[in-house]
A and B are shown apart, each in its own frame.
Chain A
Amino acid sequence: MKRILIYSILVVFVVSMALFGISCKAEAVEEAEEEVAEVIEEAEEEVAKEEAGEIITLRLMMFPDNPPDEEFYDILITEYEELSPNIKIERESVPWNNFQEKLMPQIMAETPPDIARVSSQWGGSYAAMGALADLSEFITQEDIDKFQSGRWVTCLYEDKPFGLPETSIAIAMWYNKTAIEEAGIELPESADSAWTWDEFKEAAKTVQDKTGIEYGFDVYKSFFPYLAWIYSGGGQLLGEDLKTPEINNEKSVEAVKYLTDIYAEGISPVTTPASGDPDAAQKLFQAGKVAFYYSGVWLTSTFVDAIKDFEFGATYLPMKAGEDPATNASGENLIIFNKSEHIKEAYDFISWFTNKENSERHLGYANLLSPRLDTSPVYEVRPDILEVFGNQAAMLKIQWAKEAHISEFSEITPSLMDNLVLALTGKMDAQNAMDIVADEVNTIMAE
């Protein structure tokens, strides 16, 4: 028995060596899976390419926002390859949670992809590492003006562009329509005329009292909504110079205190900020236990599929009396790495990908918001909700966009989140907590 086992292991070892040879030609394995028709088509294409010149391969590393998004990427890539027969785009889909673990070693080994689709906060960090290309020579002022300025600044490092904005992410207030109507609450009509904090708190409490719903309000545990809440109170993370911390100034701290009180009074569950599960509040909302849920537009199709027990909608975010409506500045960008050997071709692709027509088609299909000023994607799923989020996103101020995209932002967020949680769960006084964050910011800036 043992002998057979050992011999079979050795045989298998030899087989693996053979597979080594096969796997060296990854393309060969891929082609083996394609249908005969496609093989023939490719053969014809090859001939055409050879006549046109060399074939340039661009590696695109991305994470999908949702299945339609991924589907449309393939559609657009196929179209582009038909338009430019000498370009081939290899798309690799990487889980968002593991994106850095995949990208960092490649950057350090000096073999990054040509293009990456990233969350806007990441670009600044990569640029500070010296990994991104300078696209100044390709971009004209006309191109820049097509994008919302708040989204455009997220593609700059030291005023040099390294990519183009692709999508926008917006946050607003989801609400449990069935519960709201039962409690007789009237909702605000626009972002400017939204509730004040006090009015909102009243509304949330009323729904709790009148309908017996467990919680009046909850917040998605992430820096987007928390920072936006602070902005809605007139606070800021950093000053105009993007170096001095303002997170511990009077207004910022008051915003944190106000939110802490909402948790302390039982209007919101303390387990949400305390939990490490970012979906904690979403699960509560889907279970019908939360009246108002402060979160993002990406949940639209999830809620449409998952929520059948009650009706839901989106409305505008509250702000402190006398302050401006707030929102966050995030989205996804398509960035280019400087170790790419085909920066011009990569730029041509991302420029085409994010142009007006393709943007509209892609984002409409995938239910995502556009960073362009001249597009109006047609949304099939709950356009009423997308409209509210779009209007709220228009309230963006440049300062907020800039401060959330400095290259040190990723270094600051863990400390920000840790201390916000300590404050919101009542473990630490808000002023102390924010002072700690301010110290951390100073230390990071000094390096």
Chain B
Amino acid sequence: MGLILKIMKIKRVNLLYFLIPGLILLLLFVIVPILYSFYISFTEFKSGSFIFNGFDNYIKLLKNKVFWISIGNTFYYTVGVIVPSVTISLFIAISLNRKGWGYTTLRTIYFLPVAVSEAVAAAIWVSVLNPEVGMANYFLEILHLPKIGWYADYNWVMPTLIMVTLWKNVGYYMIIFLAGLQTIPPYYEEAAKIDGANNWHIFRNITLPLLKPSLFFVYITSILFSFKVFTWIYVMTQGGPGYSSMLTVFYIYREGFKKFQFGYASATSVVLFLILLVFIIIQLKYFKMFETKDYR
């Protein structure tokens, strides 16, 4: 009994050492600004200071057609991005999880889009996909295929955004899966092979379950990235044509830094956050089994 108490005491003290410094930094430099932005959402910036205006911003927001269009577009984009993101990067990670300079080169190539910033990537793509003089349509022209409107076409703009997002992020998720695959001890695979399992069985019953934490991370992260997408829209579409690529974070930016309505912009981010929170909580509950399960 005394021994157990002693162990518990050690745990608690070390818990403080481990948790507190990081949490303080998180609290101060991330959570406090977030809370302040919530406060701003109930104000309006007029005559040099933030003046309280209650729920005015929220009421105006919920009545705004463009805002709801942006929420719809955000979901469209998110759903369109997640499934390919997870599956393609998983496929690449598993296939490239081997030694050899060929594989190293391929991994580096898939990593390249991650090495450049989003702003540079968007600048490159806005040129390459220019519907009149861009490389992409030039190639299509040479192949006698019809020109595509890419980001200047009402129907193609969302698929275009999804495509460039995948190009940019697949390498990022690949790294995570590669790291995740490393923590799977090879003797599991070997033991299974001795027992006569084929590759697909190994993948389905050993690799995949052991990758669940990584899968969970990539899945949740890609949702969060998608909800916050901004640079592609800023550089390539400005929310257009019309409102067909108006996504909520771009809407927030425009309201805040183009129209100088900061209270309203903050309110929008609060509502977006709440919608996202509900969406994520559903995902977390669905994946709850991964939180404490011992999967040996």
Contact = CB atoms under 8 A, between A and B. Distances in A.
A289 B137 CA distance: 15
B228 interface: no
A427 B152 contact: no
Interface string B219-248: 000000000000001111111111101000
Given A274-B153, A275-B237, A410-B259, 13 more contacts: A100-B258, A104-B256, A108-B50, A274-B154, A275-B131, A275-B236, A275-B240, A283-B130, A283-B133, A289-B133, A418-B239, A418-B243, A425-B241
Nearest to B250: A276
A277 B130 contact: yes
Contacts of B50: 108
B286 to A, nearest CB: 36
B133 A418 contact: no
A101 B256 CA distance: 9
B250 to A, nearest CB: 10
- Size class of B's contact patch? 35 or more
A96 to B, nearest CB: 13
B285 interface: no
A239 interface: no
B111 interface: no
Interface in A127-144: 128-131
B169 interface: no
A275 B151 contact: yes
Contacts of A427: 154, 241-242
What is the predominant secondary structure among interface residues of chain A facing chain B? helix
Nearest to A110: B48
Nearest to B238: A276
Interface in B25-45: 45
A108 B47 CA distance: 11
B260 A280 contact: no
Interface residues of A, number: 35
A273 interface: yes
B260 A125 contact: yes
Contacts, number: 104
A110 B49 CA distance: 9
A284 interface: yes
A274 B149 contact: yes
B239 A276 contact: yes
B187 to A, nearest CB: 23
A416 to B, nearest CB: 12
A87 B254 CA distance: 38
A102 B8 CA distance: 50
B124 to A, nearest CB: 12
B107 to A, nearest CB: 22
Contacts of B259: 410-411, 414
Interface string A209-246: 00000100000000000000000000000000000000
Q: Which 3 pairs show the lowest CB-CB distances between chains A and B? A: A276-B237, A276-B238, A274-B241
Contacts of B233: 276
B240 A421 contact: yes
Contacts of B257: 100-101, 104
A106 interface: no
A285 to B, nearest CB: 10
Interface in A82-130: 100-101, 104, 108, 110, 125, 128-130
A325 to B, nearest CB: 30
A101 B243 CA distance: 24
14 contacts: A100-B258, A104-B260, A125-B260, A129-B45, A129-B260, A130-B46, A130-B47, A275-B131, A289-B133, A410-B259, A411-B259, A418-B243, A422-B242, A425-B242
B235 A277 contact: yes
B190 interface: no
Nearest to A104: B257
A442 interface: no
B133 A421 contact: no
Identify which of B46, B48, B50, B254 gathers the most chain A CB atoms within 10 Å of its CB. B48
Identify which of A128, A287, A418 gathers the most chain B CB atoms within 10 Å of its CB. A418
A78 interface: no
B183 to A, nearest CB: 16
Given A130-B48, A276-B151, A427-B154, A410 B133 contact: no
B173 interface: no
A73 to B, nearest CB: 25
